[in-house]
Amino acid sequence: MSAPVPPRTGAASAPVVVYENVRKSFGTFTALNGVSFQVNKGEVVCLIGPSGSGKSTLLRCTNALEKHDGGRILFEGVPLPADEKSLHGVRRRMGMVFQSFELFPHMTALENVCEGPVTVLGMSKADAITRATALLKKVGLADKALNYPANLSGGQQQRVAIARALAMQPDMMLFDEPTSALDPETVGEVLNVMKQLAEEGMTMVVVTHEMAFARRVANWVVVFEAGAVIEQGPPTQIFDAPLVSRTKDFLSHLGWEG
Amino acid sequence: MTLDWSIVWDNRWLLLQGALLTIVLTVATMAVAIPGGILLAVMRMSSSRLLSSLSACYVELFRNIPLILIVYWAFYVLPLMPLGITLDAFTTGLVALCLNVSAYNSETFRAGLNSIRKGQVEAAVALGMTRSQALRRVILPQAWRRVLPVLASTWVSLFKDTSLVSVIAVGELAHTAMQIRSQSFRVLEMLTAMAVIYWMLGYPQAKLVDWIHRKFGVKE
C-alpha cells in the first residue's frame, strides 16, 4: 500500500523514535492502520494529511496520551512501557505543544514555565525561575512573565506553552497542530520560534497544515490518509515531485502549487 | 392599630439566642454537607456502578423534594423506623438540612471538577506529572475557583432556609420570634423584627458572596 521509502539524507544520526506497524482503534473506527516510519536525532519530521487521517492520534500515542493497540513505538530503542509509572519518565523527556495551548490559567506565564521543573523534577524555585526567565526571553516574551494566560494573545500563549515544554529540557518535541487555533497574524511568531528550535538541532515531530513551514523546515515529511502513511520522503519529493497521486491531490486541495 | 415595639427590645436576649442558633445550624450543616458533598461527588464519578448509582439516587431524591418535607419526614418518620432512632429537635433539623444540602453540594463539586477541560490534565501529564500531581497542581486549584462562589451562594440560601426547621420546634430565630408573637399577639412587630434581623445578618453575607464571585470567579 505504501510507496517505497527513499533513502534518508543524514541517516547517520541515531533514531529517536521508531514507529513499527502502529495500530489504534476507537470502537469500530480504525484511526491508525499499521503506521511505520522513524524520527532521527535532530530531525524535523512533519506529519501532513487530511483531518481525521490519524496524524494527531499517532502524535498522542508517542507519549502515550493514547495507548496504541498494536505494533510498537520505540523511544531511544526501548518500546514504550505499559505501566503508568515508567511512562512518567518517558513523558518528561518529550515536550508536547497542543493546538489549544492548554496553559494553566491559574498561573502566570513564568509560573507555567516553572511548573514542570519544580513539580516534576524537584528543582528549587530560584533555579526554575532562572531557567524559565531565560526561556521566556528566548521565545520573545520576557516582558510578559507576570501576565496570566487570559491576558496574552493566542500566539503569545502558544510561545509560553513552547517555553513550558522546553523547561523540562526534553530530548524531543511533539507539536500537535500548534498554529491551527491562532489568528493568521500570530501564526508567524509561533512558526519562527519553532524554526529557531529546529535550527538549534531539536528533534521535532510536527502535525501541521502549514505547508510552507513543512516545505522550508522539515527534513522529512510523512503523508497520512485514512490511518495509513501513503508517502514519505524529503520535502523536495513530497512538495515538488510526489510519487503518489493522492499526495498531489491532497496538496492541490490546499492550494499548494509547488 | 397601635404598635408596641418594646416587645422586641424586651425579648432581645431570646432573639439573640435564636439568631445564634440559626448561625450554629448553618455552620454545622455546612461542616457536614461539604465533606458529604465531596464524598457523594467522588462516589458519583467513581468507576463502580454501584457507588455511582447509589450517589445518583441519593442526590436526585433529596434535591427534588421540598426541604420542609424532609424536615417533617425526619421528625415523624425517623423515630418509626426499625432502628428506633430518636433525636432531639435540633439534631433532627440538622439531619434534614444536611441531607438536602449534601445533595446540592455534591452537584456543585461534580460540576466544578467536570468543568476543567480534559486538555488541562493532558498538559500536566505530558509534562511528566503523576495523576495525583495533576489533580493537586492543576485540577483542584481551578475547580476550587468554580466551586467556591457556588458554595457561597448555597450558604446564603441555607442561612435563610434554616428557618424551615422552626416547624419542628427547633429554637432558632424564626421559631423564637414566632413563639414571642403567639404569646404577645404582637404579630406585625415580631414579623418585622424577624425580617430586620435576618436581613442584617444575611445582607453582609450576600455582599461577601458577591465579593467572592468577583475575586475567585473564573474569567476565561
Q: What is the ipTM of this complex?
A: 0.91
Q: Which domain holds residue B132?
A: 6-216
| A-B contacts (CB, under 8 Å) | 62
d(CA B207, CA B156): 10
- pLDDT for A130-155, tens place per residue? 999 999 999 999 999 999 999 999 99
| N residues, chain A | 258
Residue B172 in any domain: the answer is yes
Does residue B1 have a pLDDT over 80?
no
Residue B1 in any domain: the answer is no
For chain B, the domain total comes to 1
Q: Which residues of A touch B128 (CB under 8 A)?
A: 88-89, 91-92, 116, 120, 168
The rounded radius of gyration (Å) of the Cα atoms in chain A is 18
Q: Which residue among B127, B138, B219 sits closest to A168, beta carbon to beta carbon?
A: B127
How high is the mean pLDDT of chain A?
93
Residue B95 in any domain: the answer is yes
Lowest mean pLDDT among A233-237, B62-66, B208-212: B208-212
**β-bridge pairing A203-207 and A44-48:** parallel
**Mapping DSSP to helix (H, G, I), strand (E, B) and coil, where does residue B65 land?**
coil
B123: left (phi over 0), alpha (psi -120 to 50) or beta: alpha
**Mapping DSSP to helix (H, G, I), strand (E, B) and coil, where does residue B6 land?**
helix
User: Which grid coordinates are listed for B173?
Assistant: 430565630
What is the separation, in whole angstroms, between the first and last Cα of chain A?
25
Residue B56 in any domain: the answer is yes
User: Which chain B residue is nearest to residue A107, measuring alpha carbons?
Assistant: B138
- Among A204, A206, A212, residue whose Cα is nearest residue A238: A212
CA B71-B77-B78 angle, 5° bins: 85
The rounded radius of gyration (Å) of the Cα atoms in chain B is 21
**HSE (side-chain half, CA atoms, 13 Å) at A74:** 14
Residue whose cell numbers read 522513524: A38
Cross-chain Cβ contact B128/A120 below 8 Å: yes
Does residue B130 have a pLDDT over 60?
yes
Residue B138 in any domain: the answer is yes
Cross-chain Cβ contact A88/B129 below 8 Å: yes
A119 touches chain B (CB under 8 A): yes
B14 Cβ contact partners less than 8 Å away, ≥ 6 residues apart: B176, B180
Cross-chain Cβ contact A63/B126 below 8 Å: yes
- pLDDT for B6-62, tens place per residue? 888 888 899 999 999 999 999 999 999 999 999 999 899 888 899 999 999 999 999
Rounded to a whole number of angstroms, the distance from the CA of A12 to the nearest CA of chain B is: 29
Q: Which residues of A touch B125 (CB under 8 A)?
A: 65, 91
User: Which grid coordinates are listed for B16?
Assistant: 439573640
pLDDT at residue B219 in the model: 57
Q: What is the DSSP string of chain A?
A: -PPPPPPPTTTTSPEEEEEEEEEEEETTEEEEEEEEEEEETT-EEEEE-STTSSHHHHHHHHTTSS--SEEEEEETTEEPPSSHHHHHHHHTTEEEE-TT----TTS-HHHHHHHIIIIIT---HHHHHHHHHHHHHHTT-GGGTT--GGGS-HHHHHHHHHHHHHTT--SEEEEESTTTTS-HHHHHHHHHHHHHHHHTT-EEEEE-S-HHHHHHH-SEEEEEETTEEEEEE-HIIIIIS-SSHHHHHHHHHTT---
- Whether residue A112 contacts residue A148, with contact meaning beta carbons closer than 8 Å, is answered with no
Which range, B9-18, B119-128, B143-152, has the best average confidence (pLDDT)? B119-128
Residue B61 in any domain: the answer is yes
Q: Which residues of B touch A120 (CB under 8 A)?
A: 127-129, 133
Q: Which residue among B128, B131, B218 sits closest to A92, beta carbon to beta carbon?
A: B128
d(CA B34, CA B109): 9
Which residue of A61, A86, A106 is the best one to mutate when testing the B interface, meaning the one whose CB has the most B CBs within 10 A? A106
The pLDDT-based confidence of A254 (bands split at 50, 70, 90) is: confident
Does residue A10 have a pLDDT over 70?
no
- Mean pLDDT, residues A87-106 taken together: 96
The pLDDT-based confidence of A2 (bands split at 50, 70, 90) is: low
Q: Which residues of A touch B145 (CB under 8 A)?
A: 106
Residue B183 in any domain: the answer is yes
* Type of residue at B72: Y
CATH number of the structural domain spanning residue B210:
1.10.3720.10
d(CA A57, CA A209): 15
**Helix locations, B77-172, DSSP H:** 89-114, 118-126, 131-134, 140-161
**β-bridge pairing A29-40 and A78-79:** unpaired
d(CA B26, CA B161): 9
Write the CA distances from A209 to A152, A181, A200, integer angstroms: 24, 11, 23
Instruction: Give CB contacts under 8 A, 24+ apart, made by B44-52.
Output: B44/B106, B44/B110, B45/B110, B45/B113
- Whether residue B43 contacts residue B53, with contact meaning beta carbons closer than 8 Å, is answered with no
Residue B159 in any domain: the answer is yes
d(CA A96, CA A64): 11
d(CA B16, CA B26): 15
d(CA B61, CA B168): 22
Does residue B147 have a pLDDT over 60?
yes
User: Which chain A residue is nearest to residue B124, measuring alpha carbons?
Assistant: A116
